[in-house]
Structures are given as structure tokens and as C-alpha cells.
Chain A
Amino acid sequence: MSFIKQIIPSKSLIRKSEEGIFKGIMYISVSIIFFLLIAIIYGIISKGLPALSWEMISSVPEGGFYFGKGGGILNAIVGSIYLALGSTAIALVIGLPVALYMNIHLVNRTKFVNSIRFLLDLLWGVPSIVYGVFAFSIMLYIGARVSLLAGMITVALFILPVIIRTIDEAMKSVPRDLLEVSLSLGSTKTETAYRIFVRQCMPAIVTATILAFGRAIGDAAAVILTTGFTDSIPTSLFQPTATLSLSVFFQLSSPVEEVKARAYASAALLTIIVLIISLSARYFSSRYNKSRIK
């Protein structure tokens, strides 16, 4: 016993100091994350706000805009909103039925549905530039020019996995009894889908839509190849369209200081829009913890 008594204190001392060291690293790690958030938001806003003016938000670029002359980025703001709205709508029109089909029509084919889920999870990781290149090569093949519509479809493909998996994850948890009761009362599968499942999962659908919208509005890699860039607000689906992220990107590559300042302002604006989106997503999903894995 005396042998053990001799050993224990020294060992526990080591344990304690080991825990102490690692706890120290943990504190530092968490502080770094807090610091990053503050540094990023502060950096973007403080650089961007001084250059942000009403003229910038409310007018399109005038001649010489990219050399520091007057004008604004209304074209990019409207373009981004068009693009994000359109692609989210397309993705929803395809994605919601897929999620419904997986959870109602295929409810007994667990293996098949799980492999679809697996495939979607794989697709989730594919970078947007790959979608962009793919869409671009198809556009070349069929002879289409860069346009708002092409961008919408490309971004829709890119956000489809997000939409389907987020909605699907909520629909998985709809009690099976509900499905069976609804069917046994004589309603068709479609009625069950849209009257029961969609209503049950409305918060998740809203969250999925907002999330996808956020991804669509922030994406730059897919649209650089498919939507092009223009100084005017698009009036049809077949015109090239400017987006905020590309507007930031192009303005930043200018050597003129004023244009760079406007790039910071555009970035600040984009950040504010995305902040609002992610906060509202949080508000809607407060009860629905979506899981990305599984």
C-alpha cells in the first residue's frame, strides 16, 4: 500500500498539469474563433461602411465606373437577388418533390432511399466551380451564351443537395402512423404529401429555402462561368447578369483606390445581407436541428 500511496500523488499531479495544458489550448482555440468573428465583421464593416452611400445602392454603374467615376452597384444587387430567388425556386420545385417521394412513395425501400441519401451527401461536397465548368461546357455545346437563366440552373443544381437533404432530414422524423392514417382515410399519396408532410415540415422547408438562398447569393465560382457580368439590370432571363460577389471580385482587381473602396462597400453589403439571412434561418430553425451528416 505504501508503494501505491507514493505513486498516486505524483501521477495525479501529472494528470492535473496535463489537463491544465490542454485546457489552456482549448481556451485559446475558442478565443481564436471569437476573435475571428469580431475581426472579420469589424474588418469588413469598418472598411466598407465609409464607402457605402445611397448612390451606390440605388444606381447602376455609369461610364468609367471601374476607373472611379460615379454610379453604383444596383445592377449587382438586383442581379444577385434575381439569381438567388430564381435558383432557389428551381431547386425547391425539384427538391421538395424528391424529398416527398423518398419519404412517402419509397418509404418501404429503405436501402434504395439510403443510397439516394448517400449520393446526395456526396454531391453536397462537390465544389461549385465544378458545376460551373460542367454547365459552361454544356452551354458551349448547345451554343447558349452566358445568361441569368444559365446561372439560375447551375446554382440550382449546386444547392439541390442542401435543399433535399435538409427537408428529407425533417421528413424522416414525421411519424409513420401519420402517413398510414392519412392513406387509410382514403387520401391519395399526393394529398398526403402536400397536406400532411409539407405542413408538418414547414419550418424545415423554410429553413432549407433560406439556407439555400444564402448559399446561392454568396456563390461566386459557378456564376463566374455562367452568368457573365454586365452594367445594366437584366430585363430578360437570357441576358447576362451581374452578381454581388463577382462585382466585389472585379472591383477589387482594379488598381484605382476609389474602386477598391467600393469593392469593400459591396463586400460589407453582401455580408449584411447574408447575416440577415443566417439570423432569420436561425430564427426559423430554432426548433429544428438540421443535421448535415448521417
Chain B
Amino acid sequence: MPLITSLKGRKINSYIHSTWMLIALVIVLIIPISIGIGLVFKSWSLLSSDSIVTLLFSSSWKPMSGHFGFWPFIASSIIITFFAILIAGFISFFSVIYLTQYAPPLFIRIVQPIIDILAGIPSVVYGVWGIIAIVPWVQDTVAPAFGVYSSGYCTLSAILVLAIMIIPFVLNLLIEIFGTIPIALTEASLSLGATRWQTIKFVILKKAFPGIVSTMVLGVARAFGETIAVLMVAGNVVASPKSLFDPAYPLPALIANNYGEMMSIPKYDAALMFAALLLFVVVLIFNLFARVLIVRLEKKYY
């Protein structure tokens, strides 16, 4: 920033910058609103002709004849997200207890970069890794063990890849949540004669509970919107999966796979916009819920 010496110049300069700051703020505030309105507007032709219940719960997906039932995609998304957060949550939960309560500080300093690296690996790389590691494993080892045939591109692979992807995200949040619990609580509990494990079980987990719940909810929101990696391993067949070895077709994959032909079939664009709207609304609701919990948690303890 060049040095401006005259008073008038400084005033004008300050005015210009302040105005730009305000404009930038307005832009940032307008984005979410315009995304919401834009998606509703673009999916209106579908929303006005079909009832929302049919759209959400009908399984008949025949774009050519104008039947848009999103249930196969929604079911796929729900199943994949649910099991992924179950696995990721389990591993992260026990890791965070070890890392924050038992492990020496040096150990955390080793693990933290590992989590950061895992968190930074792009989605498409997880997808590639899923194809070279998870898919063959599911095909050759897991599926035969259950006595079924699977190409490997199935719900289970998607669940595993997604679970692995969101572990660093969930774990990072959990580490922060556990970091907000005052050390005095632990000290008081230990000095009263409780063992380490009792302290963790009755004091720390109790205090961290709302934070853990909100972390899991954020994890769900994250998993729900994950696109490329899941798209690469899920198999993408339009049918709600009957078993974990059936292919799945989650909502984001639907959008990413079909945007190319959306203009050639009537109402197809509205259908894809509706899928995006669903994603947007679901993710916002989950985030809202989690953030409100966190804000409450902070108010309670500070």
C-alpha cells in the first residue's frame, strides 16, 4: 500500500477501501441466499408439477417419461452416510480419548501432522485409492467371505472410502472439543481419588457429550455432500441397495454424472437442481443443528 500523505488523499483512500470492504461483506452475505433462491427457482418446474412426497419417496426414476422419484438416491446417500459416520465416529472417538487423555504430548505432535495430511488429500485421490485398494479387497476377500459375488463397486466400498475420508475431519473437530474441557475438572476428579478411566467416563465424556454429538452431525453433513470419491467406487446403479454388496447411487453422484445430458431431456435440469437443493438444505440443517449445539456448549462452560 503506497504511502499517501495528504489528508484529503488519505480520506478518499480510506473511503474507497471501506466501501470495498462493505461491498465484499454484502457479496458474502448474498451468496447463501442466492444459492437457496436460485436452486428453488430452477427446480420449480418439478416442484410445481409433482408433490414433494412423490419426489422424495417414489422409486420410479424414468427421466424420459418424466418420472422423477429420488428415493433410490436418497436411500443410497442415507445408507452410505450412516455407516460411514458409524465407522469414522467409532475410530475417531477412541483415538481422541487416547490422544488427549493417555498419550504423551510428543505423540500428539506426531499425530497432528498425520491428521492434517489425511485431511488435505483431495477427494479424487481417495477415490483412486478406493479403486486400487478397497474395491479389489471387497471383491476378492469380503464378498466371497459372505458367499456373495460383488464387482467391488458397491455400497460397502463407498462406505469404507467415505469413512476413511471423514476420519481426519471428525478427529480434528473432536480434538478441539476435548481441548475446550477445562483441565481443572480432570485435576479435581483425580484428586478426589477417581482413576483415570473413571475421570474419563464420568467427567470428561459427560462434559464433551454435546460436542461429540455436534461433531458427528457435522461429519454427517460432510459425508452427505462428498461427491467424487463416492462416485468413483459406488457403482452407480439406479436402485435402492438391498445389501451392502449392491451398487449404490448417492445424490451427489447423480448430479456429477448427469449434468451433461440435462438439457436434452425435459425437466431433467429441474430434477438435478432439485437434487442439489436437497443436498444444500440437508447439509445446512445438519450444520445448523451442530453449530447451535456448539454455541450452547461454549456458553455453558465459559
Partners in one complex: yes
A residues at B contact (CB < 8 Å): 15, 18-19, 22-23, 25-30, 32-34, 36-37, 39-40, 43-44, 47, 93-95, 97-98, 100-102, 105, 116, 118-134, 136-138, 140, 157, 160, 164, 188-191, 193-195, 214, 217-221, 224-225, 245-246, 248-249, 252, 263-264, 267, 270-271, 274-275, 277-279, 281-282, 291-294
Asked whether, in the complex, the Cβ of A25 is within 8 Å of the Cβ of B94, the reply is yes
Tell me whether B125 and A270 are in contact (CB under 8 A): yes
B29:A116 contact, CB within 8 angstroms? yes
Shortest CB–CB separation between residue B97 and chain A, in angstroms? 6
Per DSSP, chain B at the interface is helix
Question: If A30-B111, A105-B18, A122-B287 touch, does A220 touch B227 (CB 8 Å cutoff)?
Answer: yes
Contacts of B142-169 to chain A: CB distance below 8 A: 164, 167
> What is the total of A-B residue contacts with beta carbons within 8 Å?
268
Query: Assuming A127-B227, A249-B127, is B255 touching A133 (CB within 8 A)?
Result: yes
Q: In the complex, A71 Cα to B14 Cα: how many Å?
A: 52
The CA-CA distance from A70 to B124 in the complex, in Å, is 24
Size bracket of the B interface: 35 or more
User: Cβ of B176 and Cβ of A292 under 8 Å apart?
Assistant: yes
Q: Are B118 and A125 in contact (CB under 8 A)?
A: no
Query: With a CB–CB cut-off of 8 A, which chain B residues contact A40?
Result: 118, 121, 125-126, 129, 164
Residues of B near any A CB (own CB < 8 A): 1, 10-11, 13-14, 17-18, 20-22, 24-25, 27-29, 31-32, 34-35, 38-39, 42, 90-95, 97-99, 102-103, 111, 113-129, 131-133, 164, 167, 171-173, 176-177, 195-198, 218, 221-222, 224-228, 232, 252, 255-256, 259, 263, 269, 272-273, 276, 279-280, 283-284, 286-288, 291, 294-295, 298
Query: What residues of chain A lie closer than 8 Å to B287, measured between beta carbons?
Result: 121-122, 124-125
Residues of A within 8 A of B17 (CB): 97, 190, 193-194
Residues from chain B with Cβ under 8 Å of A133 in the complex:
39, 255, 259, 272-273, 276
Residues of A close to B283: CB separation below 8 A? 125-127, 130
Quick check: B95 and A33 within 8 Å, CB to CB?
yes
Does more than half of chain A's interface fall in helix, strand or loop, or is it mixed?
A: helix
Report how far A166 CA is from B286 CA in the complex, Å. 22
A97 near B21: Cβ-Cβ < 8 Å: yes
CB distance from B78 to the nearest CB of A (A): 16
User: Nearest Cβ in chain B — how far from A285, in angstroms?
Assistant: 9
A140, B119: Cα distance in complex, Å: 34
Show 5 A/B contacts (Cβ-Cβ < 8 Å), sorted by A: A188-B14, A248-B125, A263-B128, A270-B125, A293-B294
